[in-house]
Amino acid sequence: MTSVSLGIPAITSATGPDPARPDHPGLVDRYGRVATDLRVSLTDRCNLRCTYCMPPEGLDWMPAEQALTDGEVVRLVSIAVEQLGVRQVRFTGGEPLLRRGLERIVTGITSLRPRPKVSLTSNGIGLARRAAALAEAGLDRVNISLDTLRPERFREISLRDRLSDVLGGLAAAAATDLHPVKVNAVLLRDVNDDEAIPLLRYCLERGYQLRFIEQMPLDAQHGWERSNMITAEEILQHLNAEFRLEPDGEERGSAPAERFLVDGGPAVVGIIGSVTRPFCGDCDRTRLTADGQLRSCLFSQGETDLRGPMRSDASDEELADLWRDTMWRKAAGHGIDDPGFIQPSRPMSAIGG
């Protein structure tokens, strides 16, 4: 029995093309941004139950017939790369390693020209077995989520006893040259907010690049509270107690993480202050869900259905145009601080984080 269902937002493409959209082949929007980074969710399912992401009982998973097939994923991504100027593709979920055809999909995408950079955001469970095959298929890099180094705490946060699998996945990624291996950590007040320093030490010792992510209002349970969130500022304060941090001097550009040299470098740590230090003005992302819905932002209230038109024989050019229209309408920012902010009905695990 599941108690939280997956909200399916309104379809924005029903409003039709905007005549003001310029005749540009790429994914441009009204604020001068150009999307070149595509996040593809390969499944909404997961083998963990991180409390800040989904409820203990899981969600009403997407019915199989609604999910894109491997071939449909490759077709849509090839339109993005060959016609719309996408240059980076990241597979995510849910847990993308639960997708059996992942290696086949990666092979399909790395065969495209121009060849995009291909990466994976994963909880790392099962990566130890698959890292070599994924690297062989052309996967360039991975980001692995790791919120704690303590087994009992891992169970408390994710409701599963899998810390050793995650650490094994990380080690395999490093050994397989999926570099740089990046680690994503979310700190939760009174749960793991005393682990900023141990996590950074662990990553420094192994050459992993750690990034802390502020908790966002994207959990399926809608339990996020701003007052409870560990802010970028607090994370910096924690780290400053042990390490000397200084901005790395690189332009942040469209990268979400502010990067700091640790003790003079070359090692760096990243802080992704999505809520308190938003980077929407430089966002270069476009998103495709596992059921073939396009989103211009994690926080979009609307989606554009590509699966329906694709299964009704739409041409590549028609699908590309739907994509351009969707991105043209992208909002200026996520609006978390606006009085009328409404959390999207689709949770992070079903959008693709």
Kindly list the residues in this chain that would bind ligand SF4 in the complex (CB under 6 A): 46, 48-50, 53-54, 93-95, 123, 145, 349
- Show Cβ contacts of residue 53 under 8 Å, excluding neighbours closer than 6 positions: 46, 218, 219, 220, 347, 348, 349
Q: Is residue 126 a contact residue for ligand SAM (CB under 6 A)?
A: no
Quote the tokens at residue 246: 């200084």
What are the helix and strand counts (H, E) for the chain? 10, 15
Could you say which residues in the range 204-233 bind ligand SAM, by CB under 6 A?
A: 213, 215-216, 218-219
Q: How many CA atoms lie within 13 Å of 342's alpha carbon, on the beta-carbon side?
A: 7
Please state at what angle helix 127-137 crosses helix 102-110, rounded to 10 degrees.
Answer: 20
DSSP secondary structure letters along 291-325: TSEEESSTT-SEEEE-HHHHHTT--HHHHHHHHHH
CA distance linking residue 245 with residue 78, whole number of Å: 41
Q: Is residue 119 a contact residue for ligand SAM (CB under 6 A)?
A: no
CB of 67 to ligand SAM, least distance (A): 16
CB of 38 to ligand SAM, least distance (A): 15
Applying CB under 6 A, the site for ligand SAM has a residue count of 20
Q: Is residue 46 a contact residue for ligand SAM (CB under 6 A)?
A: yes
Closer to ligand SF4 by Cβ: residue 83 or 123: 123
Closer to ligand SF4 by Cβ: residue 145 or 148: 145
49 touches, from ligand SF4, ligand SAM, none (C-beta below 5 to 8 Å by class): ligand SF4
Stretch that binds ligand SAM, among 91-99, 111-119, 170-178, 324-332 (CB under 6 A): 91-99
54 touches, from ligand SAM, ligand SF4, none (C-beta below 5 to 8 Å by class): ligand SF4
CB of 293 to ligand SAM, least distance (A): 16
92 touches, from ligand SF4, ligand SAM, none (C-beta below 5 to 8 Å by class): ligand SAM
- Nearest of 98, 4, 121, 91 to residue 51 by alpha carbon: 4
The SS3 assignment for 91 reads strand
The pairing of beta strand 34-35 with beta strand 209-213:
unpaired
CA distance linking residue 15 with residue 12, whole number of Å: 6
Residues that bind ligand SAM (CB under 6 A): 46, 52-53, 92-93, 95, 121-123, 145, 184, 186, 213, 215-216, 218-219, 348-349, 353
